[in-house]
Amino acid sequence: MTPQSKKGFTLVEVLAAIIILALVTTGILAGLGFSQKMVLTNSAKDAHAAQVQQAADIIIARINDSQSIYDIAEDMNYLRINPGESFITEEDRIQFIAEENFNGSDLCRITIALFFDTAKGRDSVEMVCVAFHGDINQHEY
């Protein structure tokens, strides 16, 4: 009898390699799924943040042009909340709080919020900015 040389892998070695490969692949796919969910969530929040930024720009420009806060809310279909009150989390449109004569100045502090639905419930984007009543070039310092 001639001794046979051992070439190749045994069945146990092949099965062990397949199991290790399956575990690594499962981990990679789970990580990709999580990453995709995060990208979609952040994309939606970024889109809502852009809406809030656009609303802020409009409100600031109109306050700078001495337009009434009440008119801004009505013209743009925004919900104006009185200072000291809370935003309405069930509302799906732009909401803002305008604090006129902020800290005794001619400035108006504006807090803008937008609430929206996500897979995990309600979320929001908020922004705080400041506007000046009237033409800033005619104001004495």
- What are the pLDDT digits (tens) for 102-133? 888 888 999 999 999 988 889 999 999 998 87
pLDDT of residue 137: 53
The model's confidence at residue 139, banded by pLDDT at 50, 70 and 90, is: very low
Checking if the pLDDT of 4 tops 70, the result is: no
Mean pLDDT to the nearest integer, 31-42: 82
Q: Is the pLDDT of residue 1 over 70?
A: no
How many Cα neighbours within 13 Å face the side chain of 115? 12
Q: What stretch of H or E contains 31? A: helix 11-64
Buried b / exposed e over 90-99, threshold 16 CB at 10 Å, is eeeebbbbbe
pLDDT of 136 higher than 60:
no
Question: Which pLDDT belongs to residue 38?
Answer: 80
Q: For residue 111, is it left (φ>0), alpha (ψ between -120 and 50) or beta? A: beta
Task: State the pLDDT at residue 141.
Answer: 45
Instruction: Determine the average pLDDT of the residues in 71-81.
Output: 91
Q: Does the global pTM surpass 0.75?
A: no
Per the prediction, the chain carries an average pLDDT of 87
